[in-house]
Amino acid sequence: MPLWQYLMTDVDPDQTAAPLAAYCFMTGYIDVVSFSAIFVWCGFQTGNFAQLAIAIARLFEGAPGFRDQTFHKADQQALCSLISFNLGAFVGRIGDRVGPKKRIWLVSGTFIQVLFTMAAAIAFWKASQPSISNARDEPAWTNTLTFVGLAFMSASLGVQGILGKRLNTQFGTTIVLTTVWVELMTDPSLFRLRQRVMSRDHRVIAAVSLFLGAFVGRAILFQLSTAATLGVGVGFRMLITLAWIFVPSTKPANK
């Protein structure tokens, strides 16, 4: 089969466990980098959205003239991450035109994540700021270039989320695992330990992969800088890009 024709085939969603587990790994990996520095999640936008609500509520606290009307740095960073994540997810609409299960789109969409992660690494390299903060009121990232890096990190997970969502597997979006946890706990086959149950096993793999990603990310971050840690992440994501080439195609329906 010619290469282009092969790239235009649909992947079999039931055979995508490996790259989607790697997506979950990258969620933990990327999130731990941002949380370690500024206590903001690049992928878990529920917390960032709630933080912005708190920032608005703060405007009405206390007596008039004595209210805190400052848009705190942490709130600015949460807003930056939220907007960038959604812009990244919007980029994923390209896949709706190409075909969300087309191999060419899964390869291209993951490569976009590579480019975004690379851009983030360069921004943090140029920013020359610390990688880890031990106090919420003392963020490690404060200058403009770190906002650029945060934006690219968040956008990369936005693209990843829409790719994972469109495949409609047990891995969900590969970003937020709250739903995965709920579905795992309510799975009718949860305690059939001697049987292979895809609905249960893939959710467990998703959770473990995210945990491992956060563990590995923090371990590397402790030894290296933010830029270097993201540089390693570029390599991981490049491997995931190539992995989509080897996922089996959907079998043609019998006529």
Report yes or no: 212 and 28 within 8 Å, Cβ to Cβ.
Answer: yes
Strand, coil or helix: what is 10? strand
Please give the full DSSP string across 71-107, using - where no structure is assigned.
--HHHHHHHHHHHHHHHHHHHTTHHHHH-TTBHHHHH
Answer yes or no: is pLDDT of 50 > 50. Answer: yes
Residue 255 has what pLDDT?
46
Q: Could you give the CA distance from residue 250 to residue 239 in angstroms, rounded to a whole number?
A: 22
Burial 234-247 (b: 16+ CB within 10 A, else e): bebbbebbebbeeb
Q: What is the mean pLDDT of residues 14-37?
A: 94
Half-sphere exposure of 61 (CA within 13 A, CB side): 9
Query: How is domain 23-246 classified at the architecture level of CATH?
Result: Up-down Bundle (1.20)
Average pLDDT, the chain: 89
Q: Are 138 and 145 in contact (CB under 8 A)?
A: no
Mean pLDDT across 186-207: 79
Confidence of residue 64 (pLDDT cuts 50, 70, 90): confident
Task: Give the torsion sign (CA, 194, 199, 202, 206).
Answer: negative
Q: Which two tokens stand for residue 127?
A: 């920013």
Q: Which two tokens stand for residue 90?
A: 């919007």
DSSP-assigned letters across all residues of 196-227: --HHHHHHHHHHHHHHHHHHHHHHHHHHS-HH
Question: How much is the pLDDT for 246?
Answer: 94
User: Which pLDDT band, with edges at 50, 70 and 90, does 35 fall under?
Assistant: very high
Q: Is pLDDT of 254 > 70?
A: no
Average pLDDT over residues 206-234: 95
pTM of the model: 0.91
pLDDT at site 109: 95
- Secondary structure string (H, E, C) spanning 134-181: CCCCCCCCCCHHHHHHHHHHHHHHHHHHHHHHHHCCCCCCCCCCHHHH
User: Residue 113 in contact with residue 134, Cβ under 8 Å?
Assistant: no
Mean pLDDT of 20-44: 94
Mean pLDDT across 54-69:
80
CA gap 255, 252 in Å, rounded: 9
pLDDT of residue 251: 79
Above pLDDT 90, what percent of the chain? 60
Whether residue 96 has pLDDT greater than 80: yes
Q: What is the DSSP letter of 77?
A: H
pLDDT at residue 32, as a whole number = 95
User: With 80 as the cut, is the pLDDT of residue 193 above it?
Assistant: no
